[in-house]
Chain A
Amino acid sequence: QVQLVESEGGVVQPGRSLRLSCAASGFTFSNYGIHWVRQAPGKGLEWVAVISSDGSHKHYADSVRGRFTISRDNSKNTLSLQMNSLRAEDTAVYYCARDPRGDGYNYADYWGQGALVAVSS
């Protein structure tokens, strides 16, 4: 069955960096685009970034562009989100989610369980 498992998040000080990863199994990872979506405590869903199946296309939300970098290693079936210059407003549960197509230009059909990132001094 399709599984997406995020690494543990953590508590990080403002201005510092954190790297999240997402391990995929149960499907041919290299055929699918993958999204990151986040949810601040008690709030709604916010799309963060997407990467195409071969990693050639990446798109970001304005709120994270220039600070976050999405990448993937198809040989290891893993996705990463490098988060730099973290701010208090980045505090959220971060979900990786599969796009049903390789281009990543769609909805998300399977989601991981989420990883909590708390930015606090």
Chain B
Amino acid sequence: EVVMTQSPATLSVSPGERATLSCRTSQSVSSNLAWYQQKPGRAPRLLIYGASTRATGIPARFSGDGSGTDFTLTINSLQSEDFAVYYCQQYNSWPPYTFGQGTKVEIK
């Protein structure tokens, strides 16, 4: 099973600033990595797939990078609606498809 490690657990950022989230996998997943955003009481929403491709309707301030075992999600100029929990997921080696434990982006 591919183990996913996200860091930090919580990120405190001021509106308008940049947030950089990390996801590391226990073995290479090539570029088969997705990022999701989840707000309280809501279903997850796909942000990024293929490590760097934005999903339909996702603003350009969200960007993904990386391949192999190290990945980043960058959110430029944070908006109020961006404060949420973010999860990475690998779909290279399955089953199971595995998720990271999440990074909470909170208002500083």
Q: Are B43 and A45 in contact (CB under 8 A)?
A: no
Indicate if A107 sits at the interface (CB-CB under 8 A): yes
| Contacts A35-B97, A95-B43 known; 15 new A-B pairs at CB < 8 A | A37-B44, A45-B44, A46-B99, A47-B95, A47-B97, A59-B94, A60-B95, A62-B96, A106-B32, A107-B91, A107-B97, A108-B34, A111-B43, A111-B46, A113-B43
CB within 8 Å for A95 and B44 given contacts A45-B87, A105-B91, A109-B55: yes
Name the residue on B nearest A4 (C-beta): B43
Question: How distant is A78 from chain B, measured CB to nearest CB, in Å?
Answer: 18
Question: How distant is A90 from chain B, measured CB to nearest CB, in Å?
Answer: 16
Interface residues of A (CB under 8 A from B): 35, 37, 44-47, 50, 59-62, 95, 97, 100, 105-114
CB within 8 Å for A105 and B46 given contacts A44-B102, A46-B99: no
Docked Cα-Cα span, A60 to B49, in Å, equals: 22
Q: Are B99 and A45 in contact (CB under 8 A)?
A: yes
Question: How distant is A93 from chain B, measured CB to nearest CB, in Å?
Answer: 9
When distances are taken between beta carbons in the complex, the residues of chain B under 8 Å from A46 are 99
Docked Cα-Cα span, A60 to B96, in Å, equals: 7
Indicate if B45 sits at the interface (CB-CB under 8 A): yes
- Sample of 6 A–B contacts (CB below 8 Å): A44-B99, A44-B102, A47-B96, A61-B96, A62-B96, A106-B49
Q: Is the interface of B mostly helix, strand, loop or mixed?
A: loop
Q: Are B45 and A59 in contact (CB under 8 A)?
A: no
Docked Cα-Cα span, A92 to B77, in Å, equals: 34
Docked Cα-Cα span, A95 to B87, in Å, equals: 15
When distances are taken between beta carbons in the complex, the residues of chain B under 8 Å from A61 are 95-96
Docked Cα-Cα span, A107 to B101, in Å, equals: 16
Q: Are B46 and A109 in contact (CB under 8 A)?
A: yes
When distances are taken between beta carbons in the complex, the residues of chain B under 8 Å from A37 are 44
Docked Cα-Cα span, A114 to B32, in Å, equals: 25
Name the residue on B nearest A46 (C-beta): B99
| Residue from the set B36, B45, B94, B97 with the largest chain A CB neighbour count within 10 Å | B97
When distances are taken between beta carbons in the complex, the residues of chain B under 8 Å from A45 are 36, 38, 44, 87, 89, 99, 102
